[in-house]
Amino acid sequence: GAGVSQSPSNKVTEKGKDVELRCDPISGHTALYWYRQSLGQGLEFLIYFQGNSAPDKSGLPSDRFSAERTGGSVSTLTIQRTQQEDSAVYLCASSLVEGSRRQYFGPGTRLTVT
């Protein structure tokens, strides 16, 4: 079946502009995660959604970052007033909460802020 998809695959934006990144999880997966991979860094947890529970936003680096998940499926990560340090690959993952706890990752969105 289809895996996790993300769009766009690449995004170049000017400093100060807002961007939206989209994630389509695997159908039926109730958990959804956003991670950020900066150049030379490991992956950094940003936010987690599980069903109708309040999201875990503990990894968001600033209040310029926000995310929502509509209908328990598609998620959008929004970065307002982008800064150059926001340049990174943003990865989305989804999983079933029970069982294997395996997270399936999408291909990522490469964001470049000029």
Partner 1 sequence: AQSVTQPDIHITVSEGASLELRCNYSYGATPYLFWYVQSPGQGLQLLLKYFSGDTLVQGIKGFEAEFKRSQSSFNLRKPSVHWSDAAEYFCAVGLASFGNEKLTFGTGTRLTIIP
**Alpha-carbon distances of 16 from 13, 52, 64, 67, rounded to whole Å:** 9, 32, 11, 18
Report the nearest approach of partner 1 to the CB of residue 73 (Å).
18
Part of the chain binding partner 1 (CB under 8 A), chosen from 10-18, 20-28, 45-53, 68-76: 45-53
25 contacts partner 1 (rule: CB under 8 A): no
* Cα–Cα dist 73/28, whole Å: 8
* Amino acid letter, 37: Q
100 contacts partner 1 (rule: CB under 8 A): yes
Part of the chain binding partner 1 (CB under 8 A), chosen from 15-23, 69-77, 78-86, 93-101: 93-101
- Name the DSSP class of 92: E
